[in-house]
Amino acid sequence: MNIELLRLLFDFGLLILIWLVQLIIYPGFRFYSKENLLQWHRKYTFGISFVVIPLMFGQLISASIQLYQEANTYTVLSMALIAGVWISTFAQFVPLHNLIAKGVIDKALIQKIVTRNWIRTVLWTSIFISSYIHLTT
């Protein structure tokens, strides 16, 4: 398997994951009581990390290899978009999830998570589209 196809697989996995999170998982937080969300959130964050962490690192490593092999518009743009996802994740979403974990839960916080997640949804969708175009042209 070549690096472009491997990269596309990581990008596709993250594309599916982010759309599930955006359309189903995060909006679903609205239907939990504060106590139930706190309990569910612990299980959710633990379980989803087994999916998210390998995919994010796989994407980062495969994109880094591509950049190392050939620095061009596609590889540089890919790394910039991936950096945007990582920055958004650690600057915005880790703190928001930490608030939930501490029990600081209200409708505004849940809405903020749903609304801000559009940033990662657009970024990961763009990453997948660019990888697909790169691989098929």
- C-beta separation of 14 from 48 below 8 A: no
- pLDDT for 96 equals 97
Q: What's the pLDDT band for 14 if we cut at 50, 70, 90?
A: very high
**Helices and strands, counts by H and E, the chain:** 6, 0
Rounded average pLDDT over 67-81:
97
Whether pLDDT at 8 is above 90: yes
CA distances from 90 to 31, 34, 45, 62, 120 (A): 25, 24, 14, 20, 12
pLDDT in tens, 84-107: 999 999 999 999 999 999 999 999
**Which residue spans within 4-119 are E strands per DSSP?**
none
Domain assignment of residue 32, given as a range: 3-136
**Residue-level pLDDT at 1:** 77
Task: Supply the pTM of this predicted model.
Answer: 0.94
Look at the chain and report how many structural domains it folds into.
Answer: 1
